[in-house]
Amino acid sequence: MKPLEGLLVLDISQFLAGPSAALRLADLGATVIKIERPVKGDLCRQLYISNLDLDGDSTLFHTINRNKRSYAADLKDPSDLARVKQLIVRADVLIQNFRPGVMQRIGLDYDRVREINPRLVYGTVTGYGNEGPWIDLPGQDLLAQSRTGFVWLNGDQQQGPVPAGIAVADLFAGAHLVQGLLACLVRRGVTGAGGLVEVSLLESMLDLQFEVLTTHLNDGGKAPERSAVNNAHAYLGAPYGIYRTTDGYLSLAMGSVTQLGKILDCAALQAYDDPQSWFDRRDEIKQHLVTHLQTQSTRYWLDRLEPADYWCAPVMDWPEMLAHDGFKVLDFLQPVTRDNGQALVTTRCPIRIDGAVLKDGRASPRVGEHTAQINAEYAVS
């Protein structure tokens, strides 16, 4: 039995952050009903991260909405809204990510919803919270990365701002929402009362930077200093970075530069015996590494570093990773299939419960696929 079996979640969200939270609850056993507008459904169905289309929907939609049921409802239609309210009476969790004010106009804001279901845990995702000058601006991942200074931590010193290559703001906000929802469900088990959980892309991106932002706040407000050579962390010294070898790349994490010089038989590195210099002179140290590491293969260097327990790794691409036994042992992939036979290979939930991996073969639903079934199951009229 999965931990959240028996819980009913209404997912009235679209795009990525809210649906990713609902996905994780589904992975953990909750029944998730995705409420989306008739015909077109969630706008994410047509939000492509490549040109790949599967059974009329984007792979992004398939990935983030697997293991859910779809209920078609126009929330501006009084009849459909009344039916959704009947589902809310039965629900344990509701997730929405409309801009501030939209749910109030519809009549499904938290204050009114808790009148019909005081035990409901109500989760919201916004771009920038519910107050302040940014609340009406588009809450989008790249924009949140840009407003929080995160983009000045990536890339080398001579580059401009560099964003992450994945939707980190959306995914962290979704994870934070899950944490808050589960906390409120635990509290409800004690008090019987539901609660309101609010997260934003802005606050999630700030939390993601809590280590380096705290440093900035306590060192006189100095700006982050990215290294000019192979930057991987603006606040860490040499050798931290990724280096080219004769046949690929090698990743080096924190460690003694002088020890590294002995392991690699690089006399130039052994001269830096003051740990303070590993940050103050990191670019020149890294330049020695750039020159030295390009003389041999990745495997050659790993055969010296790994026995010495120096923190390192080969830089793998996806085909290399997928073929490696270290990945295969995780059993991390699963096929999911629609009832018409259309299938997709995707990842599973990263959480194990009692030693078991959590998988479910149900693919994302078509718009309104389960409306009639849900009406019958929950006596909605």
Residues forming the active site: 170
CB–CB of 148/209 below 8 Å?
yes
Q: Give CA–CA dist 220/240, Å, rounded.
A: 24
Q: Give CA–CA dist 71/377, Å, rounded.
A: 12
Assign 3-state DSSP to the chain and report helix, strand, coil percentages, each to 5.
40, 15, 45
User: If we measure between CA atoms, which residue out of 65, 34, 204 comes closest to residue 125?
Assistant: 204
**For the CA atoms of 187, 189, 192, 197, what is the dihedral angle to 10 degrees?**
40
Chain CA centroid to CA 5, Å = 23
Q: How do 93-96 and 8-12 pair as beta strands? A: parallel
| Encoded tokens for 112 | 């009114």
Length of the chain: 381
- φ, ψ of residue 369 in degrees (nearest 5): -55, -35
Would you call 163 helix, strand, or coil by DSSP?
Answer: coil
* Inter-helix orientation angle 17-27/168-191, to 10°: 50
239-242 contacts, C-beta under 8 A, 24 or more apart: 239/278, 239/285, 239/286, 239/289, 241/286, 241/289, 242/315
CB–CB of 96/124 below 8 Å?
yes
CB–CB of 41/367 below 8 Å?
yes
378 Cβ partners below 8 Å, 6+ apart? 86, 87, 90
Encode burial over 131-151: b for 16+ CB neighbours within 10 A, e otherwise: eeebbeeebbbebbbbbbbbb
Q: DSSP label at 98? A: P
